[in-house]
């Protein structure tokens, strides 16, 4: 399984929610992937995606949340709890 650090998101709404995120990516390594593709890769255990706090070095892995009646979405999970770190990332501006 390959691990990929996520440093940015694409969402049409600046103050969006998890289900409004369309892409995740890494602005340093210059890549983006659609959320649906990331979900498929996570579910198949092909790849893992994570967030890393630059100050503490702590890692949160992205997990797939399947809430009843809602579309599956990604959310950070670290130190035994869900977190909102994904929503705090900057927008991806990668061509």
Q: Residue 67 is encoded by which pair of tokens?
A: 């809430």
Number of other CB atoms surrounding residue 38 within 10 Å: 23
Give the chain's mean pLDDT: 90
What percent of the chain has pLDDT above 70?
94
pLDDT score recorded for residue 30: 93
Distance, in Å, from the CA atom of 89 to the CA atom of 70, rounded to the nearest integer, reads: 23
Read off the pLDDT of each residue in 20-38 and give the average, rounded to a whole number. Answer: 94
Q: Is the pLDDT of residue 16 over 90?
A: no
The 10s digit of each residue's pLDDT in 63-93 is 999 988 888 999 999 989 988 889 889 999 8
pLDDT score recorded for residue 14: 66
Read off the pLDDT of each residue in 41-60 and give the average, rounded to a whole number. Answer: 94
């Amino acid at each position: 399984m390959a691990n990929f650090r996520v440093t940015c998101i694409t969402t049409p709404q600046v103050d969006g929610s998890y289900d409004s995120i369309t892409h995740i990516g890494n602005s340093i390594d210059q890549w983006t992937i659609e959320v649906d593709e990331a979900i498929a890769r996570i579910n198949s255990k092909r790849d893992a995606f994570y967030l890393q706090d630059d100050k503490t070095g702590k890692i949160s892995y992205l997990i797939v949340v399947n809430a009843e009646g809602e579309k599956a979405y990604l959310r950070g999970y670290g130190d035994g709890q869900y977190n909102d770190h994904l929503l705090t990332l900057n927008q991806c501006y990668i061509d």
